[in-house]
């Protein structure tokens, strides 16, 4: 089974000081961006492709099969953020 994770590596690897500097610059530039969220939002096209190619998807909480460790790790991290609408497999 292949597991693909689409996250912004640069944001994942920032230090606390870099996070603080990024927050200061976002405020200075008056940007309406989420703070240090390593998972970007899907485009409408990506959501469409996801729905077309992966006809079957289930909320992770309701999934009854085996879930690879890496998927569980990413899901646990994503759940701690206020940026996601739900976790699906």
Per the domain annotation, does 29 fall within a domain? yes
Per the domain annotation, does 44 fall within a domain? yes
pLDDT tens digit string along 70-85?
Answer: 888 888 877 877 656 6
Mapped onto helix, strand or coil, the DSSP state of residue 70 is helix
Specify burial of residue 77 (Cβ count, 10 A radius: 0-12, 13-18, 19+).
middle
For residue 25, what pLDDT is reported?
82
Model-level pTM?
A: 0.55
Q: Which residues contact 83 (CB under 8 A, 6 or more apart)?
A: 34, 37, 39
Per the domain annotation, does 2 fall within a domain? no
Looking at the structure of the chain, the number of domains it has is 1
pLDDT tens digit string along 18-73?
Answer: 778 878 887 888 877 666 666 777 789 988 988 888 888 888 888 888 888 888 88
> Which residue range(s) make up the domain with 32?
9-79
Long-range contacts of residues 57-63, Cβ cutoff 8 Å, at least 24 apart: 57/88, 57/89, 58/88, 58/89, 59/86, 59/87, 59/88, 60/87, 60/88, 60/89, 61/87, 63/89
């Amino acid at each position: 089974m292949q597991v693909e994770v689409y996250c912004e590596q640069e944001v994942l690897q920032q230090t606390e000081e870099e996070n603080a500097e990024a927050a200061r610059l976002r405020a200075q530039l008056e940007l309406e961006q989420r703070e240090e969220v390593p998972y970007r939002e899907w485009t409408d096209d990506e959501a469409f492709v996801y729905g077309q190619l992966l006809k079957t998807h289930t909320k992770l909480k309701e999934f009854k099969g085996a879930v690879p460790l890496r998927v569980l790790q990413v899901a646990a991290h994503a759940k701690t953020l206020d940026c996601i609408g739900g976790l699906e497999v």
